Structure 1
Amino acid sequence: MSSHSSFGTLVTIESSPQITNPAAVVRKDKQGIALSPSDKELDEIQWGKSSRPPSIPTSGIQTPLTPTDLESSNPPTPKKHGAVDAVKSLSTPKNKRRLLSACMMNFANGLNDSAPGALIPYIEKEYNIGYAIVSLIFVTNAVGFILAAPCTHALETRFGRCKTYIFSMSLLVAGYIMIICKPPFPVVVASFFLLGFGMAVNTALNNVFCANLANSTAALGGLHGGYGIGGTIGPLIATALASHGVRWSFYYIITLGMALCNLVFSVFAFKGYEKDLPTQLLTALQRTASRQSYEDEKAKKKKNPLIEAAKNKVTMIGAVFIFAYQGAEVSTSGWIVSFLISYRNGDPSEVGYVSAGFWAGITIGRFVLSHPCHKIGKKLAVVLLIAGAVAFQLMTWLIPNVIGEAVTVSIVGLLLGPVYPCAAAVFSKLLPRDIQTSSLSFISAMGSSGGAVSPFFTGLLAQHVGTVVLHPICLGLYGVMVVSWVCLPRIRKRTE
């Protein structure tokens, strides 16, 4: 009984909130080194005893954690420090508006990118030019994307995300006005440079935003699904207008209106975007046990993100993969109409809708196949999708029937649809957070250059051989995609 009473007394004394001699209550590690009680108390005040981050031990000498470590560990966050979760969660009204704004921008980009395929025959006729010359619009569009790659991160760092979106949308507005005003063809070529630069900036920012949301797969699927919807509607409207005698450039009045709407809505959605980030950083720093870790983080940020991105293996392999992917995608959508006119005697007012079928396949694929791809594993799913695209591309080449080829082209689009969002999700997991914006900007730029170089060379060869070269070029690009995809490293749990 006495021992039980003594034990109860001991428990009563130690559980009491009244500590009469704080100096005497000093934690020590196994080596007898005193640890500051203030660190423990602050830690428990912030996190509570039951929600302590698992990565921070309660005894012993702990390794200092960087803010990025703490961000990636995703511990439970108290309500008063909810900015960390608010930055990632799609359940907050702010992020819902931001995702909607990003999807609307990608929808407008799809309207822009899918139209040239249906409009090329009318552009050639108005300016009396051939395949090789009209292909210059793809080249200058790619130059805009490439030059935007080193600028996107610098623009966002200097001006903030909201003002960077304003800059991007303003370039698009300027480019569309130039096209609508019935300019000489060299001005049309120059306007596509502005369009490429503006779209590259918002595409990179939108990919980074969606890739870092809590449910990145769904967010990226919606983002690129919006692009696919725009890509489906674009050729339908362009063909309907041009085939009824409306000047081809008037199609861009629609994209101009979308650019103006996106300009206004992006300001509304992303205004004050950076205000969440200082709270997030402060919360992480409060949990950091050493000042040295903060100094290391500052030194890390001083590195040039673009140089670090260029040195990164995943960035380079991803750039090759997306280069080949968008090369095949844009080549198919841009030249399939001309192929059907030249080799299947198709009527331009009818076969122009085949390009819309291709983009409809992409859209359906992104919405319907993204979830099954997530279930079976993105890396395996991409290989299977490319294999299917190869089979139906061969059918498109060999079936001597416009209706049959329209169906097979749509299925090619269906299979290619989930590839980009799956790849973006994989890249975001493999890339360090501090170079994500620069890396995805570079990958996006290389993708758009692929979407220009491949159609351009298709046009050059078509000038001498015929548009039948479209299919061998696409098959070769599918091969490049498979090789580069297999070369990607395995996905591991983030440690940075």
Structure 2
Amino acid sequence: MTTFLLIIIYLAFISLGLPDSLLGAAWPIMQSDLRAPLETAGFLFMTIAGGTIISSLISGKVLRKFGTGKVTFVSVFMTACALLGFHFAPSVIWLYVCAIPLGLGAGAVDSGLNDYVATHYKAHHMSWLHCFWGVGATFGPIIMAQFISVQHSWRNGYFAISGIQFSLVIILLLTLPLWNIVTKVNTNSKKEEPVNHNERAKDVKPLQIKGVKLALASFLFYCGVESTVGLWGSSFLVNIKELPAAQAAQWVSLYYGGITIGRFITGFITFKIGNRTLIRLGQIIALVGAAFLFLPLPSIFSLVGFIMIGLGLAPIFPCMLHETPTRFGKQHSQTIMGYQMAVAYTGSTFIPPLLGFIASHSTIGILPICIVIFVAAMLLSSENLNRLIKKKSIIKRNDTSSTAV
């Protein structure tokens, strides 16, 4: 029964990933069709991500009141309706209107399912959960590219994705009772854990804990990189590398494919290699991939760069989430996790539109330079955090030894 519910959760995370990559893949043709300036995509993206931040911040109260199953059902229904609205939208104004429920629904699903899997399932499922987000994010541009190349219609692409979302809504509706059953089973088998954890969490002031700000910076730059490449990658390929819009959308789908495959593999590698090592390796690979975009090489190297960035980013986010209790203690992890998700969404909200605004007044060719800077900043924050934690652990060991003597 718990396995069947896990499959439902994975399907929900596919639906979470499907809309995330659509706007960037479709924007080159949407821009000309709607006669909108380049930076409009950034502001639409900001609207979606802003809704995501709001819903993630209030998700704790909503989840406690209604339960994860009901919140997930309503949230996916909201995203399905929003995507259908994109199909019918007669102007950019209506896209902004539809972007609000799209963001609100996505934030509630993300926060609720991350917390549910962390609470009720083993650690390696976190990597696989985010792998299934990558499945959705990969197939989104593929579906959109098919409609653009065959029908020259971005609207039908949104209609198709909306239909997939509505199918999941039906599945979630039929399986609503399953959530309560599994929750009761797991609660009965873990009677001791909730009390102490929540009591201690009330007194925590997360920003005063050493290293938290560095962790938040890592999440900020990670989501800045991931969302910026997804949103502006297609425009970069069309305007700088002079690729057709459909081919550019397919290449961006391979970037998300790199994230997907990487996270699937990471789920197995975590049994052998620690989170910190995987985070470091991922950042280095992403940096090399960004360099391929930066250097004046033939277009095919841009494809290699996109895939390498995707593979590099793959282990970073789930491993950083899973590393939170180890870094700051289990009694603090719940509170700090919320801060990390909020800052992550902030990176998704503001960094891509900022780059779009700058690019509209210069050139989208600045994308590779910005990606290199963001990945380097993430690596620097992460390594400084590792050094700080190592120093704290040495001091703690020495204090323990002194007490023992």
Partner residue, 1:413: 310
Q: Distance in 1 between matches of 2:251 and 2:232?
A: 11
Q: Distance in 2 between matches of 1:445 and 1:193?
A: 17
- Residue 153 of structure 1 and its aligned partner are, at CA, apart by 0.5
Given the alignment of the two structures, is residue 450 of structure 1 paired with residue 342 of structure 2, yes or no? no
The secondary structure found in structure 1 opposite 2:90 is coil
Distance 1:431 1:403, change over 3 A: same
Which of 178, 188, 200 lines up with 1:279 in the alignment? 188
- Residue 372 of structure 1 and its aligned partner are, at CA, apart by 3.2
- Residue 129 of structure 1 and its aligned partner are, at CA, apart by 1.1
Partner residue, 2:37: 130
Question: Is the contact between residue 131 and residue 264 of structure 2 (CA under 8 Å) also seen in structure 1?
Answer: yes
The secondary structure found in structure 2 opposite 1:131 is coil
The secondary structure found in structure 1 opposite 2:272 is helix
Given the alignment of the two structures, is residue 173 of structure 1 paired with residue 80 of structure 2, yes or no? yes
Which of 333, 350, 353 lines up with 2:230 in the alignment? 333
Q: Which has the higher helix share?
A: 2
Which of 219, 226, 242 lines up with 1:322 in the alignment? 219
Which of 175, 181, 189 lines up with 2:96 in the alignment? 189
Cα-to-partner distance string for 1:122-157 (whole Å, 9 max, x where unaligned): 111111111112211111012112111321100011
Given the alignment of the two structures, is residue 353 of structure 1 paired with residue 250 of structure 2, yes or no? yes
Q: Distance in 1 between matches of 2:155 and 2:331?
A: 41
Distance 1:320 1:298, change over 3 A: closer
Partner residue, 2:147: 241
- Residue 431 of structure 1 and its aligned partner are, at CA, apart by 5.7
Which of 331, 349, 373 lines up with 1:476 in the alignment? 373
Question: Is the contact between residue 175 and residue 191 of structure 1 (CA under 8 Å) also seen in structure 2?
Answer: yes
Distance 1:131 1:163, change over 3 A: same
Cα-to-partner distance string for 1:170-189 (whole Å, 9 max, x where unaligned): 32133123212223212212
2:40 alignment partner AA: I
Given the alignment of the two structures, is residue 250 of structure 1 paired with residue 149 of structure 2, yes or no? no
1:241 alignment partner AA: F
Which of 201, 216, 234 lines up with 2:108 in the alignment? 201
Give the unaligned 5+ runs of structure 2: 394-405
Q: Distance in 1 between matches of 2:164 and 2:339?
A: 26
Q: Distance in 1 between matches of 2:31 and 2:70?
A: 38
Moved more, 192-201 or 266-275: 266-275
Cα-to-partner distance string for 1:445-483 (whole Å, 9 max, x where unaligned): 322331232211111111111011111211121122123
The secondary structure found in structure 2 opposite 1:408 is helix
Which of 410, 422, 426 lines up with 2:319 in the alignment? 422
Partner residue, 2:135: 229
Q: Distance in 2 between matches of 1:181 and 1:258?
A: 17
Question: Is the contact between residue 108 and residue 259 of structure 1 (CA under 8 Å) also seen in structure 2?
Answer: yes
Question: Is the contact between residue 162 and residue 273 of structure 1 (CA under 8 Å) also seen in structure 2?
Answer: no
Give the unaligned 5+ runs of structure 1: 1-93, 286-293
Given the alignment of the two structures, is residue 300 of structure 1 paired with residue 210 of structure 2, yes or no? no
Q: What pairs up with 1:41-80 in 2 under 5 angstroms?
A: none
Relative to the length of structure 1, the TM-score reads: 0.71
Distance 1:388 1:274, change over 3 A: closer
1:383 alignment partner AA: R
Question: Is the contact between residue 161 and residue 273 of structure 1 (CA under 8 Å) also seen in structure 2?
Answer: no
Q: What pairs up with 1:106-145 in 2 under 5 angstroms?
A: 106-145=13-52
Q: Distance in 2 between matches of 1:299 and 1:212?
A: 13
Given the alignment of the two structures, is residue 146 of structure 1 paired with residue 53 of structure 2, yes or no? yes
Residues paired across the two proteins, number: 386
Cα-to-partner distance string for 1:308-348 (whole Å, 9 max, x where unaligned): 56666666544332221121112112212211222222222
Given the alignment of the two structures, is residue 262 of structure 1 paired with residue 168 of structure 2, yes or no? yes
Question: Is the contact between residue 393 and residue 471 of structure 1 (CA under 8 Å) also seen in structure 2?
Answer: yes
Moved more, 334-343 or 315-324: 315-324
Distance 1:298 1:210, change over 3 A: closer
Question: Is the contact between residue 382 and residue 419 of structure 1 (CA under 8 Å) also seen in structure 2?
Answer: yes
The secondary structure found in structure 2 opposite 1:375 is coil
Q: Distance in 1 between matches of 2:328 and 2:171?
A: 30
Question: Is the contact between residue 140 and residue 190 of structure 1 (CA under 8 Å) also seen in structure 2?
Answer: no
Partner residue, 1:37: none
Moved more, 272-281 or 221-230: 272-281
2:282 alignment partner AA: L
Question: Is the contact between residue 28 and residue 235 of structure 2 (CA under 8 Å) also seen in structure 1?
Answer: yes
Q: Distance in 1 between matches of 2:92 and 2:2?
A: 41
Relative to the length of structure 2, the TM-score reads: 0.85
Partner residue, 1:48: none
2:237 alignment partner AA: L
Which of 299, 308, 313 lines up with 1:402 in the alignment? 299
- Residue 383 of structure 1 and its aligned partner are, at CA, apart by 1.3
Question: Is the contact between residue 98 and residue 266 of structure 1 (CA under 8 Å) also seen in structure 2?
Answer: no
Q: CA RMSD in A?
A: 2.8
Q: Distance in 2 between matches of 1:152 and 1:432?
A: 23
- Residue 398 of structure 1 and its aligned partner are, at CA, apart by 0.9
Q: What pairs up with 1:12-91 in 2 under 5 angstroms?
A: none
The secondary structure found in structure 2 opposite 1:465 is coil
Question: Is the contact between residue 140 and residue 196 of structure 1 (CA under 8 Å) also seen in structure 2?
Answer: yes
Which of 260, 283, 294 lines up with 1:386 in the alignment? 283
Question: Is the contact between residue 137 and residue 256 of structure 2 (CA under 8 Å) also seen in structure 1?
Answer: yes
- Residue 400 of structure 1 and its aligned partner are, at CA, apart by 2.9
1:454 alignment partner AA: I
1:248 alignment partner AA: W
Distance 1:173 1:340, change over 3 A: closer
Distance 1:419 1:99, change over 3 A: same
Partner residue, 2:269: 372
The secondary structure found in structure 2 opposite 1:400 is coil
